[in-house]
Amino acid sequence: MTTIPIVRVESHWRGTSDCLSCSFRSVALFADLTEEDFANIHAPIDDLFYRAQSTLFREDERALGVFTIRNGMVKLVRTTGDGRSRIVRVLRQGEALGLEALATGSYDHHAIALLDTTLCRIPLSVIHALSQNSKNLHKPLMQKWHQALRQADDWLADLNFGSARQRVANLALQMRDPLQTGQVQLFSREDMGAILNLQQETVSRELRTLVREGVLRQCDSQSRQFEILLLEALQRAASGT
């Protein structure tokens, strides 16, 4: 029922990336490349900024490149047969998006920033040239495909299973900040509903129940940021025991 907002104005170009000295390189696609490989990159790798809610790309759009997230969060949205839209994954720091462009030249999802997000965009030509001339891209690329597929399966198995309480608890666990453990970044109730296959009212109720029980604590006025007070209890809620 939600229509994809057409907001592309909210992005800007931050420069071209110096991949060799990038602090994310170890987790990104270029982990194994040599200096020689880098010397053969002839198209600029752009460093981009997108404001929250703005669109990175749309389904079936001709692809400009593959992205790696440096900071922030991106949702992948898919429109179902009956016109409703469903969030099939949320990607965070270090994850790749738009890999399908390598296979088909266009994207399979709408990609929309959930938070202010910075990422770099690697032109398809660069990837194709590198995979022709070097073997060092093959393995990291395969690992990114694998990571994406695993995440898709996790999403299905964990977030679309069990009671509303279980799902919300699982989402909170998944969305823990990888650095500051205990901090959880959530989104609008509508987005959470589109992830968990629940109505926003139900999400709100379950979340509030967890707060009332002292499992979570709300950290901001818009109730997007939470802190886990009782991790054990949250895990029990997630597993339904």
Residues contributing to the site for its own copies (CB under 8 A): 78, 80-82, 84, 86, 88, 99-100, 102-104, 108-109, 131-132, 135, 138, 141-143, 145-146, 148-150, 152-153, 155-158, 160-162, 166, 170, 197, 238-241
Binders of DNA among residues 153 to 212 (CB under 7 A) are: 163-165, 188-190, 197-205, 207-208
Q: Identify which of residues 28 and 175 has a Cβ nearer to DNA in the complex.
A: 175
In this structure, what are the phi and psi dihedrals at residue 137, rounded to the nearest 5 degrees?
-95, -20
Contact between 221 and DNA per CB under 7 A? yes
| Sequential DSSP letters for 42-96 | -S--EEEEE-TT-EEE-TTPBP-EEEEEEES-EEEEEE-TTS-EEEEEEE-TT-E
- Burial (0-12, 13-18, 19+ Cβ within 10 Å), 96: buried
Strands 65-71, 11-16: pairing kind: unpaired
Q: Identify which of residues 119 and 215 has a Cβ nearer to DNA in the complex.
A: 215
Please state the length of the chain.
241
Q: Identify which of residues 220 and 232 has a Cβ nearer to its own copies in the complex.
A: 232
Beta-sheet strand order (sheet of 183-185):
183-185, 225-228, 216-218
Q: Identify which of residues 149 and 157 has a Cβ nearer to DNA in the complex.
A: 157
Which region among 84-92, 100-108, 109-117, 214-222 touches DNA (by CB under 7 A)?
214-222
CB of 12 to its own copies, least distance (A): 30
CB of 107 to its own copies, least distance (A): 12
| 104, interface contact from its own copies, DNA, none, CB < 5-8 Å by kind | its own copies
Contact between 86 and DNA per CB under 7 A? no
Say if CB 70 and CB 48 are below 8 A apart.
Answer: no
- In angstroms, rounded to a whole number, what is the distance separating the alpha carbons of residues 174 and 156? 13
Q: Identify which of residues 27 and 145 has a Cβ nearer to its own copies in the complex.
A: 145
